[in-house]
Structure 1
Amino acid sequence: MGRQQQGHGKAPLPMRDGVAASYLWLPEGQWPDMLTFMVQRYPDVNEASWRERMARGDVVDADGTPLHPASAYRRGMRIFYYRELERETPIPFSEQILFQDEHLVVVDKPHFLPMIPTGRFLHETLLVRLKKTLGEEELTPIHRLDRETAGVVIFSRRQSSRGAYQSMFQKRVIEKEYEALAPRLEGREFPFTYRSRMVDGDKFFLMREEPGEPNSETLIDVIEHRADATLYRLRPHTGRKHQLRVHLSSLGIPIVNDAFYPVALPCKQDDVSQPLKLLARAIAFTDPLSGLRREFASARSL
C-alpha cells in the first residue's frame, strides 16, 4: 500500500507514532477527483475513512498542501498519506538493542515480529517499534530476517553512511552464523557444504530448488545432539530468501516448526506458540568506516 518515505528528501508529513508517511505517484488514468481514485486504489479502506483522513490533513501533495475529496486528480503528482490499520494483533515478544553508535543500531529480534510494515502488520514491526523508541525517521534495515526467524539484525541510522554498510552484504564480506534445531542427519561427515540452485516457487512466498548451476551455499556443522533433535551451526555464504530452511528441508531434516518447508501448512495467523527453531546467532565484519572488527551475538537460545 504505497511506499514508505525513505531517501527521497524531506517528506511533507512528519513521522507519527513511529510510522513514516507513505507516498504514491499518481498513475495514468481518468478519475473525477482524488476521493474516487483513493477508494478505487485501496479497496480495503472505505470512503468514510478517506474523507476523515483528508479532513485531518493527513493526505497531502509533495508541497504539503492538503488534498480534499474534490481535489483534482493529476497524473504524475506525488501524494503522501499515513498507512493505518483498524485492528492489529499485539506480538507479545520484545526486541533488545545490542549496540548503537552514530551510524548503526544492532538489534536482537524476537520470533514472529516482522521487520517492516507489510500486510496486516504496521506498529507491530521491528522498524516501527525502533522508530518509536529512538525517535529516528531515517532508520532503515541494512538486511532482513524472516518474520519467523529470531536473532541479530542491523539498522542504519544515517543515509550518508548507509551505502558503505549495505555494500558489505552485497560483496558477501559479512560473516553470518545461524543456529537451527532439526532432526539428526545420518551418513554425513561434518562440517560439509551444501549447494543448490534456488528459484521462486509456485506460491509467491516460497522458494524451491531446480537442477542447474548452484546459486546458494551453506556450511553445515553440528553443535550438539539432543534427545529429540540436533542443534546445527549454519554459515550461509549466499543470502537467498529462505535459504537455510530450503537447504535443511532438502537434506530431509526440516527445521523444527517450519510451516513452509517441506510442505506449506495453512496460515496459523496469530498463533505464537510454536516458533521456528532458527536463530541468527551472530554477525561479524570489519567496519567500513572505522576499520574496527565488529562482532554481535544474540542473547537468545533455541
Structure 2
Amino acid sequence: MARKKHPRTPLPPRGGLGASRVRLPGTEPSTAFDFIARVIAEQRHRHPADTDEAVLERFAQGQVVLIDGTPLSPSSIVAPGTDVFFYRRPAPEKPVPYEIELVYEDEDIMVVDKPPFLATMPRAAHITETATVRLRRATGNEELTPAHRLDRMTSGLLLLTKRREIRGAYQELFAARQVHKRYTAIAEWRGLEVPTVWRSHIDKKHGEIASTVIEGAEPNAETIVRSVDRLPASREVELQGLHGFGGPLASYLLEPATGRTHQLRVHMCAAGLPILGDPVYPVVHEFGDEDFALPMRLKSVELAFTDPLSGADRCFTAAEGLP
C-alpha cells in the first residue's frame, strides 16, 4: 500500500521544528488572534513566556498564515473549518544527559545510536529533547526525518533520511516490514529453549500508556527469542546494584516479526521477564518520575534491508554500550 503523501506546509521548518497546523472548529467565525491565542492557552505544555504579546509578535513577523501562504493579521476573520499555520513555542524541557552517536552517513541517509529518554519525534511534552530536533539543529538540515520510530525509553539504531524526495522510499520500507531488526533486552535470567516464539494479540487504546494482551484473540504480534546469555558477573553485579534487583540477569536477543506498540516490552513482561528499568511494564510510573541514571535496558542493535534506491544489501549494527 502506498503511503499517504502530506503536502508541504506554507511555513518552513525552523529551529528543527515544523509549523503547527490548526483548524478552527465549530460553526462560529473568529478573529485570527483570538483563535491562535486560545490554541496556545489550551496547550497542556505551554511556555510561560508565550503571552498575548508573543502571539501578536507572530502576526507582526508574518508567521501566522493560511495554507496558500497568505499572512493573517490579528483582526483577520477565520471561518470554521479553516486551517491556519503558525509556530508553537516549546515549553522548557529537562535536558537528556546522553549524546546521539553517529553510526553511518552518506548523501541520502544517516544512521545514529539514539540514547534512552530521548523521543524520536516531537510529541506532547517532548519537543526539543528529541532525536529529530537535536539532529536538525546540529546539522542545519531541516529536512532530516526519521524513517521509523523508537520508543522514547528504547535506545539504539535509528535511520533518518536527509532529503525530502527520498523520504517516502525508506519510510515505506519500514512500514512494509521489509527491515530485519534485532534488539537486546536485559531481564531476569531464565533458561529458555531457543529459539522461542511468543505470539499474542496486543491492543493499545488511545490515551492509555500501556498496551495490553487480549487473551484468546487472534494473534497480531510475534517475537522470536534468538538467544539468552547470562551476563558476565561484573556487569550483573553493576546492574543489580543500580536497579535494586536481586536475581540473576541475562541478555535476550529479540527479533520482532511484527511491529505492535511496545511489542517487545509487552512480550517480555507477559513471559514473566519485564525488562530492567521499564517504567511501564509491569507497573506504570508517574510522568516525570524518572532517573536518567536508570535507563530501560532495551536496545535496537541491528537493522538490515535492501536499499530501496541502490538495491544494495545494507546492515547496520550498534556499538557496545546500553543496555
Q: Mark yes or no: TM-score above 0.5.
A: yes
Residues 167, 13 of structure 1: alpha-carbon distance in 2 compared, 3 angstrom cutoff: closer
Q: Where does the alignment leave 5 or more consecutive residues of structure 2 unmatched?
A: 237-247
Offset at residue 264 of structure 1 (A): 1.0
**How far apart, in 2, do the equivalents of 1:264 and 1:118 lie?**
19
Q: Tell me, yes or no, if the aligned pair for 2:14 and 2:142 is still in contact at 8 Å.
A: no
Larger deviation: 58-67 or 135-144? 58-67
Q: Tell me, yes or no, if the aligned pair for 1:191 and 1:220 is still in contact at 8 Å.
A: yes
After superposition, what is the alpha-carbon deviation per residue over 1:154-179, rounded to whole angstroms, capped at 9, x for unaligned? 11223333333223223322110000
Larger deviation: 163-172 or 82-91? 163-172
Specify the SS of the correspondent of 1:165.
helix
2:7 is aligned to 8
Amino acid at match of 2:16: G
**How far apart, in 2, do the equivalents of 1:198 and 1:137 lie?**
35
1:167 is aligned to 172
Which of 166, 187, 194 aligns to 1:190? It is 194
**How far apart, in 2, do the equivalents of 1:86 and 1:234 lie?**
36
Matches within 5 A, 1:94-113: 94-113=99-118
Specify the SS of the correspondent of 2:182.
strand
**How far apart, in 1, do the equivalents of 2:142 and 2:79 lie?**
29
Q: Where does the alignment leave 5 or more consecutive residues of structure 1 unmatched?
A: 1-5
After superposition, what is the alpha-carbon deviation per residue over 1:194-242, rounded to whole angstroms, capped at 9, x for unaligned? 1111112586221010121111111113342024311110011001110
Which of 286, 292, 297 aligns to 2:312? It is 292
Q: Tell me, yes or no, if the aligned pair for 1:254 and 1:261 is still in contact at 8 Å.
A: yes
Which of 220, 223, 228 aligns to 2:225? It is 220
Offset at residue 108 of structure 1 (A): 0.9
Larger deviation: 83-92 or 27-36? 27-36
What's the C-alpha RMSD, in Å, of the aligned pairs?
2.1
1:21 is aligned to 19
Offset at residue 106 of structure 1 (A): 1.2
Residues 216, 230 of structure 1: alpha-carbon distance in 2 compared, 3 angstrom cutoff: same
2:162 is aligned to 157
**How far apart, in 1, do the equivalents of 2:263 and 2:22 lie?**
32
**How far apart, in 1, do the equivalents of 2:275 and 2:74 lie?**
51
Offset at residue 23 of structure 1 (A): 2.0
- TM-score normalized with structure 1 length: 0.89
Matches within 5 A, 1:254-293: 254-269=274-289, 271-293=291-313
Mapped pair 1:232 → 2:252: yes
Identity of aligned residues (%): 38
Offset at residue 96 of structure 1 (A): 1.7
Q: Tell me, yes or no, if the aligned pair for 1:151 and 1:300 is still in contact at 8 Å.
A: no
Residues 86, 252 of structure 1: alpha-carbon distance in 2 compared, 3 angstrom cutoff: closer
Q: Tell me, yes or no, if the aligned pair for 1:89 and 1:270 is still in contact at 8 Å.
A: no
How many residue pairs match? The answer is 295
Offset at residue 32 of structure 1 (A): 3.5
Matches within 5 A, 1:237-248: 237-248=257-268
2:245 is aligned to none
Offset at residue 70 of structure 1 (A): 1.5
Residues 63, 116 of structure 1: alpha-carbon distance in 2 compared, 3 angstrom cutoff: same
**How far apart, in 2, do the equivalents of 1:138 and 1:241 lie?**
26
2:58 is aligned to 53
**How far apart, in 1, do the equivalents of 2:206 and 2:124 lie?**
20
**How far apart, in 1, do the equivalents of 2:311 and 2:206 lie?**
43
Matches within 5 A, 1:39-118: 39-42=37-40, 43-44=42-43, 46-118=51-123
**How far apart, in 1, do the equivalents of 2:261 and 2:169 lie?**
22
Specify the SS of the correspondent of 1:252.
coil
Amino acid at match of 1:8: P
After superposition, what is the alpha-carbon deviation per residue over 1:55-76, rounded to whole angstroms, capped at 9, x for unaligned? 3332222343432321211234
Which of 120, 127, 133 aligns to 1:122? It is 127
- TM-score normalized with structure 2 length: 0.84
**How far apart, in 1, do the equivalents of 2:107 and 2:24 lie?**
36
